[in-house]
């Protein structure tokens, strides 16, 4: 179940929406929050890979030889934006264990709300792979835009962005900077507040993941 418009896909599957509501609750434990994020990451991975190319291959079942579909050799990279983006990673790797992993270390300056890079490491053949960039929140979009900028500088061409929540302001900024990169999200919330947080949102995903709130 998805709704797509202008390069943005909202994954409104009942399981995704139920788990997201549980995550929004302010008294949700760190352990539960982390587990739910992992589970939603797996469910979102189904959607972001829905259009992977397929090809037929011959196999032998216990009964007979048969032509059956497999993914057509598409190489993938999962690129979480540190720190909260790693919450999606395990669930996605469960589904695509052969995927390579890039790490993009960015933090948001509390005064300017701009993204500051402190770490970047990606596979050398990233230009030949589909890259799924992940961060739970698309708020101001400064971190997401900076991450995509950096990946494109390294030669990445086939890029997709996955998040848990998005603000309209973040979507506008992201699509303005990178109209070629599609977005998958579980929900589009109302707005950003004066501190750059998504409302109603779920607070700071990184703090809630690591119990530092």
Say if residue 143 carries a ligand binding annotation: yes
70 phi and psi angles, rounded to 5 deg: -135, 165
Q: Which domains are delineated in the chain?
A: 1-47+74-197 (3.40.50.2020)
Six-digit token pair at 162?
Answer: 């996955």
Nearest to 48 by CA among 182, 188, 171: 182
Say if residue 137 carries a ligand binding annotation: yes
Active-site residue among 108, 150, 160, 173? Answer: 108
Helix (H, G, I), strand (E, B) or coil at 2: strand
What percentage of the chain's residues is helix, strand, coil (to nearest 5)? 35, 35, 35
28 tagged catalytic: no
| Cβ neighbours of residue 158 closer than 8 Å, sequence gap 6 or more | 129, 130, 131
CA distance readout (Å), 58 to 52, 65, 73: 19, 7, 15
Q: Is the pTM of this model over 0.85?
A: yes
Tens of pLDDT along 108-150? Answer: 777 776 777 778 888 999 999 999 999 999 999 998 999 999 9
Tens of pLDDT along 44-99? Answer: 999 999 999 899 999 999 999 999 999 887 789 999 998 788 888 888 999 999 89
204 tagged catalytic: yes
Say if residue 135 carries a ligand binding annotation: yes
Active-site residue among 112, 125, 180, 213? Answer: 112
Say if residue 138 carries a ligand binding annotation: yes
207 tagged catalytic: yes
């Amino acid at each position: 179940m998805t709704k797509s418009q202008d390069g943005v896909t909202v994954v409104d599957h009942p399981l995704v929406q139920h788990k997201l509501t549980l995550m929004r609750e302010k008294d949700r434990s760190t352990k539960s929050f982390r587990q739910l994020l992992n589970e939603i990451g797996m469910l979102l991975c189904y959607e972001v890979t829905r259009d992977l190319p397929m090809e037929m291959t011959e196999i032998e079942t216990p009964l007979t030889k048969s032509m059956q579909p497999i993914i057509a050799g598409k190489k993938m990279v999962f690129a979480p934006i540190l720190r909260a983006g790693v919450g999606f990673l395990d669930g996605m790797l469960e589904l695509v264990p052969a995927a390579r992993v890039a790490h993009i270390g960015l933090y948001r300056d509390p005064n300017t709300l701009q993204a500051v890079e402190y770490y970047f490491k990606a596979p050398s053949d990233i230009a030949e792979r589909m890259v799924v960039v992940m961060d739970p929140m698309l708020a101001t979009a400064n971190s997401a835009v900076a991450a995509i900028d950096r990946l494109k500088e390294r030669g990445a061409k086939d890029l997709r962005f996955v998040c848990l929540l998005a603000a309209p302001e973040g979507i506008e900024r992201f699509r303005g900077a990178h109209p070629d990169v599609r977005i998958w999200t579980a929900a589009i919330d109302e707005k950003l507040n004066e501190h750059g947080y998504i409302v109603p949102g779920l607070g700071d995903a990184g703090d809630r993941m690591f119990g530092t709130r």
